[in-house]
Amino acid sequence: MAHHTAKHGYSSLAERLNRFPLGAPASETLFKILSILMTEKEAALIAQLPIKPFKAEEAAKIWKVSDLEARKQLDALCDRVLLLDIIENGQMTYVLPPPMAGFFEFSMMRTRGDINQELLGQLYYQYMNVEEDFIKNLFVNGETQLGRTFVNEQMLSEDNSLYVLDYERATEVIKTASHIGVSMCYCRHKMQHMGKACDAPMDICMTFNTVGSSLIRHGYARQIDVPECMDLLAQAYEHNLVQFGENSKREVSFICNCCGCCCEALIAARKFAIMNPVHTSNFLPEIEAEKCTGCGKCAELCPVEAMAMVSANDPHKPKKKLAKLNEDTCLGCGVCLRGCKTDALKLKSREKRVITPETGVHKVVMMAVERGGLENLIFDNRALLSHRAMAAVIGAILKLPPVKRYMASEQVKSRYLYNLIEKTEHR
């Protein structure tokens, strides 16, 4: 009976998580992961919470407990980063983060003695690198992806710099953040428990703004200032790491400094490259064949194997090689340029600019439209939807291109939403 109850609790939470555009397909491995992170009772409580941000009073009504008891339970969950607490305008709100980027990663962003992180790392590896359903759901389904690539700013020429917008610069995210935290890299920590970690820096995962503030408050990130974060970014450049951050223009919550061997996003980019699981930067490396010596360093550094060495077709030098780029799979990170000692590589602007959502809400709405389930985002039957949350979601929908606005309208089948879309199209 206890086993059945536990399974029911975790199943309820899995169903709840799958209301997010980025869910967590149910499996025995997922239930084992959840059982390490939380008790069955906690899973059942979390499963009842709204998808959107909520206050302690709302949780109290859902759980049928006092406000004080609800706040105590919520704070305990935040202490283990199963929830995030966000302070805005002096008021505390809570949010259930998705599994990734969310509480899966948070659980490995510092060493902990309260859970078996070695077993957890092994289960994450099984769930993400072996079973693959989660990764396919996370990175392959839909057009709008979780994260985007930041170009290595040190590799930009003066001409390039004219075409880089502020939101495309990791340095600008750092300079404008309200809070900056640094934590242990989840991916390399996980791989360390598998005996597969590389020697790239471990304490270099950056979180920003309200998410960073919550992680700092509960001891899962160390608060740092702008100069120290800039130093860490320079260190990441020196180790040829790729900057992979939240796919939004404003209020970016994270920038990971990723290696091709450990990072889930870059592994997915290699495995499912044709499906573009990671948004690229707005640049591509351009090869000057007459300068290329065929040393192969650029291909060695490329984290997604977009650069390769091919025959130069030189009858006088039959063994000579030249670099060749697969533009369809290139991230535009610029890491390859760091290895070229003959200036045979330079960055050029992509012919078609990559579209980046304005905010995190805009991103989530686009993902929900493309993957289905927008109704879960708007009509959350577990709690009353606040006018502010509705305004944010509707506002994001109205910023979508016409085709996706229509998709949104079809998914929700809402006369109110349809009328709003009609009005914006006839302005």
320 part of a folded domain? yes
297 versus 395: which is more confidently predicted? Answer: 297
Residues 344 and 380 in one domain: no
pLDDT in tens, 147-168: 899 999 999 888 877 778 888 9
Residues 141 and 122 in one domain: no
Residues 315 and 342 in one domain: yes
99 part of a folded domain? no
Residue 291 structure tokens: 């300068």
Residue 405 has pLDDT above 80, yes or no: no
109 part of a folded domain? no
97 part of a folded domain? no
23 part of a folded domain? yes
**Which residues, listed in sequence order, are joined to residue 325 by a DSSP beta bridge?**
307
**Which residues, listed in sequence order, are joined to residue 244 by a DSSP beta bridge?**
149, 256
Residues 209 and 304 in one domain: no
Q: Please state the domain count of the chain.
A: 4
Residue 13 has pLDDT above 70, yes or no: yes
Domain end residue (candidates: 247, 275, 303): 275
Residues 408 and 323 in one domain: no
Residue 176 structure tokens: 């404008």
Residues 307 and 233 in one domain: no
Specify the amino acid at residue 79. Answer: D
Helix axes 402-412, 415-425, angle to 10 degrees: 160
Residues 297 and 183 in one domain: no
107 part of a folded domain? no
pLDDT in tens, 207-263: 999 999 999 999 999 999 999 999 999 999 999 999 999 999 989 999 999 999 998
Residue 381 has pLDDT above 50, yes or no: no
Domain end residue (candidates: 275, 291, 313): 275
CA pair distance 278, 76, nearest whole angstrom: 34
Q: What is the pTM of this model?
A: 0.85
State the chain's mean pLDDT as an integer: 86
Give residue 390's pLDDT.
64
Residues 66 and 155 in one domain: no
Q: Domain of 125?
A: 2-92+114-129
Domain end residue (candidates: 226, 245, 275): 275
- Closest of 215, 278, 194 to residue 242, by C-alpha: 278
CA pair distance 265, 188, nearest whole angstrom: 13
CATH number at residue 343: 3.30.70.3270
CATH number at residue 66: 1.10.10
Which residues lie closer than 8 Å to 194 by C-beta, 6 or more apart?
121, 122, 125
**CA 164 to chain centroid:** 22
Torsion of CA 288, 289, 290, 291, to 10 degrees: 60
193 part of a folded domain? yes
The Cβ-side half-sphere exposure at 334, using a 13 Å CA radius, reads 23
Cα separations in angstroms, 117 against 40, 80, 120, 121, 415: 19, 13, 5, 6, 49
98 part of a folded domain? no
